[in-house]
């Protein structure tokens, strides 16, 4: 840690924090089983699909609203 701190001009506590974060990440990945990961990805996919659907509805509504505004401007 001391050598890396000097070499990269970082504080030792910053490097130690990164090491601790890395260790926690490795421990969590070893604990997770493929089913847990699959469930997480499926939930993410569902959330993204819902967000996409909402965005498409909003886009359609904005286009219709703009068309109405344009039609009023033409009158």
Q: Is the pLDDT of residue 9 over 80?
A: yes
Q: Is the pLDDT of residue 4 over 70?
A: yes
Contact call for residues 15 and 5 (beta carbons, < 8 A): yes
The number of beta carbons lying within 10 Å of the beta carbon of residue 28 is: 9
Averaged over 1-5, what is the pLDDT?
A: 85
Tens-digit pLDDT profile for residues 17-57 = 999 999 988 887 777 676 777 888 999 999 999 999 999 99
Q: What was the pLDDT predicted at 32?
A: 65
Q: What pTM was estimated for this model as a whole?
A: 0.48
Q: Is the pLDDT of residue 74 over 90?
A: no
Tokens of 6: 């000097």
Q: Which residue reads 């070893």 in tokens?
A: 30
Contact call for residues 2 and 12 (beta carbons, < 8 A): yes
């Amino acid at each position: 840690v001391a050598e890396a701190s000097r070499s990269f001009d970082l504080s030792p506590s910053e490097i130690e924090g990164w090491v601790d974060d890395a260790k926690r990440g490795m421990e969590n990945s070893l604990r997770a089983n493929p089913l847990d990961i699959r469930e997480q990805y499926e939930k993410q996919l569902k959330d993204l699909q819902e967000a996409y659907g909402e965005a498409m509805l909003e886009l359609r509504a904005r286009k219709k609203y703009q068309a109405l505004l344009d039609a009023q401007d033409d009158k």
